[in-house]
Structure 1
């Protein structure tokens, strides 16, 4: 696992076509904005675990 520190507005690229950007909400928490092709399936961790760990 790779662990990176990123500030709001900064991003990481996964391959050539997936961009994960850190954005800050009005409440002060951090959110991720993911820009990926429609063919890439994106699931929240708790949903993935529900589907794969039972």
Structure 2
């Protein structure tokens, strides 16, 4: 596992197409923004696990929208 330290406003790049921006830190919560192509699924871990458990693989590869994100 790669461990990184970032400040608010700084960006982490994954490959050429995905960027993660640190938007804010409040207490023990970090707000992040994720910019990724529509064909890259982006889910919170608990949503990903629920989708896997329910066997809805199409939702994992659909548009990456977990119902709470704003693109």
Interval of TM-score (by shorter of Structure 1 and Structure 2): 0.7 to 0.9
Structure 1: where are the runs of 5+ without partners?
none
Q: Return the structure number with greater helix share.
A: 2
Structure 2: where are the runs of 5+ without partners?
55-71
For normalisation by structure 2, the TM-score amounts to: 0.62
Structure 1 segments, 4+ long, off by >6 Å, are none
Matched residue of 1:31: which SS? strand
For normalisation by structure 1, the TM-score amounts to: 0.79
Number of equivalenced pairs: 52
